[in-house]
Amino acid sequence: MIRYILQRLAGMIVVMFLVVTIVFVIVRVTPGDPAAVMLGPDATPQDVADLRTKLGLDQPILLQYVFYFGQLLRGDLGQSIFLNMSVGSALLERAEPTFFLTLFSLAIASVIALPVGIYAAYRRGSFVDQAATTIAMLAASIPSFWLGLILMQFFAVRFNLFPVSGYGGPGSTLLDRLYHLALPAIALGLVSSALIMRFTRASMLDVLGDDYVRTARAKGLAERHVVLRHALKNALIPILTVLGLTAAVLISGAVVTETVFGLPGVGNLVVSAVLRRDYPVIQGALLVIAGIYVLINFAIDMLYLLVDPRVRY
Amino acid sequence: MKLKLAFLLATALVAAPSLLSAQEKGGVINVATIGEPPTLDPMVSTADLVGIVTQHMFETLYTFDKNWTVTPLLAESLPQISADGKTYTIKLRSGVKFHDGSDMASDDVVASLNRWLKLASRGKQVVGFIDKIEATDPTTVTISLKQPYAPLLSLLAFNNSAAIIIPSEKQDEPMKEFIGTGPYMLKERKADQYIQLTRYPGYKARSEASTGYGGARHQYLDEIRFVPVPDPNTRVEAAVSGQYDYIDSLPVESFDKVKASTASQPVLLKPFGYPVFVFNTAQGVTANVAVRKAIRQALSMEDMMAAAFGSKDFYALDGNIYPSNFIWSTDAGVDGAYNVADPEAAATAAKEAGYKGEPIRILTSRQYEFHYKMAQVAAEYLKLAGFKVDMQVVDWATLTQRRTDKGLWDIYISHSPFLPEPALIGSLSTSSPGWWDTPARKAAVDAFTSEVDPQKRIALWANVQKAMYDDVPFMKIGDFNAVAAKSTKLDGVDPAPWPYFWNASIKK
C-alpha cells in the first residue's frame, strides 16, 4: 500500500508540473495585455510598452517561465499586478466565501439527494421514484446562475429576505457574511443535488439486487437495517466519488454563480484576473485549484480503502 | 387623546422647517460599481472607474464646474498667465492638509506634477511643452512652457490620469500610501468586496457654492463604500431591491423597471457620450481616405444607434462631435457626411477608390454589448455596399492590445464620454491607435492647442472637427445617454459622467 501511495504522489507531482507549464503557456499566448488594462483606454502604446518592461513582460517567454518556476520552488506564487498583494494572500482572502459556499451547497445537496436517491431506488418504479428522476433531470439541466437569478428575483427583490449581492461590508460578522451566501448556496445545492441523487439511486439499485442483501433479508433483518447498513455501505464508493468531484468543482469556484452574486470568492477572482490579464493570479489560482482536484482525488482513493475492505493496492 | 394629538402636531410643525432647511449629516452609503478598479492611483490609469472612486480621496489644482469651465480646487484662484501664454503662476490655498496631517505646500505640488509628467498618459502629453516647474514660495508654483499650450489647465483639472497632489515624500511608484487632500480618505480596500472611504475630519472645503465638481465639498456622509457588482442584471435587481444607495451604469432597457420600483429611481445623464468607429489610417485597406469615406457613406447611424440603445429616449442622432450643451458644439464638416446610409453610392465610391474586395476587419467586443450590436448593423450595410467584412469579436483586454498593432485591424469600436476639453480626445494624437497624421490634422490641432484666447479656441475647434470629417480618422455614430439609479433616500447627487458623493446626504 505504501508503494501505491508513493506512486500516486509521484503522479501528482508530474500532473502539477504539467499544469504549471500548460497554464503558463496558455496565459502567455492568449491575446490581451495587463499593462493596457491597467493604464486604461487613453494610454499611448509607448506607455503600455513602458509598463510591460516594468512588469518584465517584454522578456522572452522561456526566461519568464524559468523565473516563475524558480519562484514556485521557493513557495512563492508571485505578486498580483492589480491587487497590491501577493497571489497567496489574494487566494487566502477569497478562501472563506468559497469554502462556506462549498460547504453549504454540498450540505444542501446531500440532505436532499441522499435520502431521495436511496428511497427512489428502494421504491423503484413508484410515483416517488419517477417524480424524483424527472425533477433531477430538470434540475441537472438548469444552469445554477439562472436558478440563482430566479431566487434573487423572488427572495431578494420581491420579498426582501436576502441581499441581492455582495459579502457584507466593513466590520460585518461571520453570520452577516454567511447570510449573503444563502441564495447562491441554495442555487448551487439544488443543481448539484440532481447529479448526486441520480448517482445514489443508480448505485443503490446495483447493490439492492445482490445476494448479500437477499441473505440479510432472509435472516429477518429489518428493512431499514438492510438498506442503510448493508446496501448503502456498499453503494457508497461511487457516491463518494461524485460528492468529492462536486466539492472540487465548487471549491474551484462556482465561477458564474459567484460573479452573478458578486461574491469575492475564488471563482470571482479567477474571472476578474482573466478579464484584466493578471497573469500571476491566473497562474497561481489555477495551480491551487488543480492541486485541490489532485488532492481530493487522492483522498477519495484513500477513502475507498476505509469504506471497502476488499480494496487493496 | 386630543391633547396628545395636538401636541404631536405642534411638535411636527415646529420641527418640520428645521428638518427641511439643511441636509442631514451622517450615514453610510453603498455605491454599486461595475467592477474593481485596476488601481487606486489615478495618475497611472485613464479608466473611468479609477477616477470615480479616487476623486473622493485625491484632489487636483483645478476642476470643472457644472458648465465644464475650469475652476480652482487646491489652487486659490485661476492662474495668472503671462501675455505670451508661456508662464502660469499658481497661488495655492493655505491651510490645506493631507490625510496624514501634514500641510500641503508648493514643494508637494512640484513633486506631484513631476510625477504626473513622468507617469500619467495625460502628463506625458504635456511634458514636451514644459520648460520647468518651480516652487516660487511655499504657496506659489510657477509652470514655464516652451511654447503656449492651451489645454494645460484642463489637463490639470481632469480626474483620470489626474494631476493629483500628494505629499512630496510619498511619491512612490507604484503608490504605496494613498494620502490625498480629498474630503474622504481610504480606510480599507478589500479587492472585489469593497473600498471603504471615511470622512476626513481635517478637510478644508472651499467657501464658494458647490457647482459641478467645483466649489464647496460638504462631506455630509460619514462613509462611502464602493462595492463591485460586475453583473449588469444583478445591478438592476440591486437597484429595484434597494440594497445600494447608488447603482452605476445600468442597461438602458432597465429604465422602466427601476422607475417602477419604490426603493430607487433612475438617474439619466443626457447625453453621456458617443460611440466611435476608429479607422486604421496607417496601414491596410482603410489607409486610403477614399475607402474610409465610402465606408462612412454606406452606414446608417440611425439604425446602429437604434439597435444599440433601443428607444430614442436613450440616444440622439448628432454628427457634431460635441452636443449643443457644450461650447464646443459646431456642425463644421458634418453636412452630407453623417448618417448618409447610401450603400449603392458607397459601392460606386469604393470602386473608384480602388477597393478590390479586401476584408474590412472590424475589431469589437461584447464586453460593451452596444458596440457589438452596432458592429452587426454596420456589417450588413457594408455588405450591401459590396464590402467584404471580417468581424473579429474579442474581449476588451484583447481588443486594447490588438488595436496597438497596425497590421491586425481596419476598424475598432469604442466610446467616450464628452470630455470637457477637446484636446483630451485620444484620436487627435498621432500615437493613438488609428495613427491619424496628416498635414491637415497638424495645422488644425496645433493652431487649436496653442491658442490661449477662449473665444478664438472655439472657432479653431471647428477647424479641427472639419479636418476630422475630411480625413475620417474616426466616425462618431451619435450621442447616447447613461442610466444609473439612486435610492429614494439619497439627496444631493446630480447626474455626472464620473458620479461624486461629497455633497450627497441621506434623508432621515
- Residue A219: per-residue pLDDT: 87
Q: Which site among A27, A29, A164 would you substitute to test the B interface, given the most B Cβ atoms closer than 10 Å to its Cβ?
A: A164
Label each residue of chain A as H, E or C. Answer: CHHHHHHHHHHHHHHHHHHHHHHHHHHHHCCCCHHHHHHCCCCCHHHHHHHHHHHCCCCCHHHHHHHHHHHHHCCCCCECCCCCCEHHHHHHHHHHHHHHHHHHHHHHHHHHHHHHHHHHHHCCCCHHHHHHHHHHHHHHHCCHHHHHHHHHHHHHHHCCCCCCCCCCCCCCCHHHHHHCCHHHHHHHHHHHHHHHHHHHHHHHHHHHCCHHHHHHHHCCCCHHHHHHHHHHHHHHHHHHHHHHHHHHHHHCCCHHHHHHCCCCCHHHHHHHHHHHCCHHHHHHHHHHHHHHHHHHHHHHHHHHHHHCCCCCC
Using only the alpha carbons of chain B, give its radius of gyration: 25
> Looking at the complex, does the CB of residue A257 fall below 8 Å from at least one CB of chain B?
no
Pair type for strands B411-417 and B264-279: antiparallel
> Looking at the complex, does the CB of residue B228 fall below 8 Å from at least one CB of chain A?
yes
Residue in B closest to A34 by C-alpha: B397
Q: How far is A44 from chain B (nearest CA, A)?
A: 6
Measured at the CA of B124, the angle between CA B108 and CA B162, to 5 degrees, comes to 50
B141 Cβ neighbours under 8 A, 6+ residues apart:
B89, B90, B92, B106, B109, B110, B113, B133, B134, B135
Model confidence over B432-441: pLDDT tens digits? 899 999 999 9
Residue in B closest to A91 by C-alpha: B191
Question: CA B462, CA B447: separation in Å to the nearest integer?
Answer: 11
* Interchain CB distance below 8 Å, A268 and B192: yes
Give pTM, 2 decimals: 0.85
Q: Tell the residue number behind the cell numbers 483630451, with chain if given.
A: B424
* Interchain CB distance below 8 Å, A40 and B241: no
**Which three cell numbers, joined as nine digits, stand for B243?**
440594497
Q: Where are the alpha helices (DSSP H) in B428-505?
A: 439-450, 454-471
* Contact yes or no for A30/A286 (Cβ under 8 A): no
* Interchain CB distance below 8 Å, A46 and B124: yes
* Contact yes or no for A24/A286 (Cβ under 8 A): no
- Closest Cβ–Cβ partner in A32, A44, A272 for B35: A272
Contacts of A53 in chain B (CB under 8 A): none
> Looking at the complex, does the CB of residue B430 fall below 8 Å from at least one CB of chain A?
no
Contacts of B33 in chain A (CB under 8 A): none
**Which three cell numbers, joined as nine digits, stand for B238?**
440591486
Model confidence over B328-386: pLDDT tens digits? 999 999 999 999 999 999 999 999 999 999 999 999 988 788 999 999 999 999 999 99
Question: CA A40, CA A34: separation in Å to the nearest integer?
Answer: 10
* Interchain CB distance below 8 Å, A82 and B233: no
- Residue A312: per-residue pLDDT: 62
> Looking at the complex, does the CB of residue B225 fall below 8 Å from at least one CB of chain A?
yes
> Looking at the complex, does the CB of residue A253 fall below 8 Å from at least one CB of chain B?
no
Judged by CB atoms within 8 Å, which residues 184-223 of B form the interface with A?
Answer: 187-188, 190-194, 196
Contacts of A93 in chain B (CB under 8 A): 190-191
Pair type for strands B28-33 and B246-250: parallel
> Looking at the complex, does the CB of residue A269 fall below 8 Å from at least one CB of chain B?
yes
> Looking at the complex, does the CB of residue A48 fall below 8 Å from at least one CB of chain B?
yes
Q: What phi, psi does B316 have (nearest 5°)? A: -145, 145
- Residue B375: per-residue pLDDT: 97
Residue in A closest to B257 by C-alpha: A157
Produce one character per residue of B354-370: b if its CB has 16 or more CB atoms within 10 Å, e if not: ebeeeebbbbbbeebeb
- Closest Cβ–Cβ partner in A39, A45, A260 for B45: A39
Sequence length of chain B is 508
* Interchain CB distance below 8 Å, B400 and A33: yes
ipTM for the predicted complex: 0.79
Measured at the CA of B81, the angle between CA B78 and CA B83, to 5 degrees, comes to 150
**Mean pLDDT value across chain B:** 92
Produce one character per residue of B255-273: b if its CB has 16 or more CB atoms within 10 Å, e if not: bebbeebebbebbbbbbbb
Question: Is the model's pLDDT at B467 over the cut of 50?
Answer: yes
B117 Cβ neighbours under 8 A, 6+ residues apart:
B123, B124, B126, B127, B130
Residue B9 binned pLDDT confidence (cut-offs 50, 70, 90)? very low
DSSP H or E segment with residue B363:
strand B359-365
Question: CA A310, CA A304: separation in Å to the nearest integer?
Answer: 9
Q: What is the DSSP letter of B254?
A: G
* Interchain CB distance below 8 Å, A38 and B39: yes
Work out the average pLDDT over B218-238: 94
**Which three cell numbers, joined as nine digits, stand for B215?**
466649489
> Looking at the complex, does the CB of residue B400 fall below 8 Å from at least one CB of chain A?
yes
Cα A131 to Cα A125, A195, B31, B76: the distances in Å are: 10, 15, 45, 76
Q: How far is A190 from chain B (nearest CA, A)?
A: 20
> Looking at the complex, does the CB of residue B128 fall below 8 Å from at least one CB of chain A?
no
* Contact yes or no for B139/B92 (Cβ under 8 A): yes
> Looking at the complex, does the CB of residue B159 fall below 8 Å from at least one CB of chain A?
no
* Interchain CB distance below 8 Å, A43 and B46: yes
Question: CA A303, CA A277: separation in Å to the nearest integer?
Answer: 39
* Interchain CB distance below 8 Å, A38 and B187: no
Residue in A closest to B192 by C-alpha: A264
B327: left (phi over 0), alpha (psi -120 to 50) or beta: alpha
Work out the average pLDDT over B122-142: 94
> Looking at the complex, does the CB of residue A275 fall below 8 Å from at least one CB of chain B?
yes
**Which three cell numbers, joined as nine digits, stand for B72?**
480652482
* Interchain CB distance below 8 Å, B230 and A272: yes
- Residue A311: per-residue pLDDT: 66
Of chain B, the percentage scoring pLDDT greater than 90 comes to 80
Q: What is the largest CA-CA distance in chain A?
A: 84
Question: Is the model's pLDDT at B20 over the cut of 60?
Answer: no
**Which three cell numbers, joined as nine digits, stand for A85?**
498583494
**Which three cell numbers, joined as nine digits, stand for A220?**
429477518
> Looking at the complex, does the CB of residue B30 fall below 8 Å from at least one CB of chain A?
yes
Using only the alpha carbons of chain A, give its radius of gyration: 24
* Interchain CB distance below 8 Å, B400 and A149: no
Judged by CB atoms within 8 Å, which residues 39-58 of B form the interface with A?
Answer: 39, 44-47, 50
> Looking at the complex, does the CB of residue A157 fall below 8 Å from at least one CB of chain B?
yes
DSSP H or E segment with residue B293:
helix B289-298
> Looking at the complex, does the CB of residue B394 fall below 8 Å from at least one CB of chain A?
yes
- Residue B432: per-residue pLDDT: 86
- pLDDT tens for each residue of chain A, 313 residues long: 788 788 888 988 999 999 999 999 998 888 888 888 888 777 777 888 888 888 888 889 899 999 999 999 998 999 898 888 899 999 998 889 999 999 999 999 999 999 999 999 999 989 999 999 999 999 888 888 889 999 999 999 989 899 999 998 888 899 999 999 999 999 999 999 999 999 999 999 988 888 888 888 888 888 888 888 888 888 888 888 888 888 888 876 578 888 889 899 988 898 889 888 899 999 999 998 888 888 888 888 877 777 776 666 5
Q: How many CB atoms lie within 10 A of CB A251?
A: 23
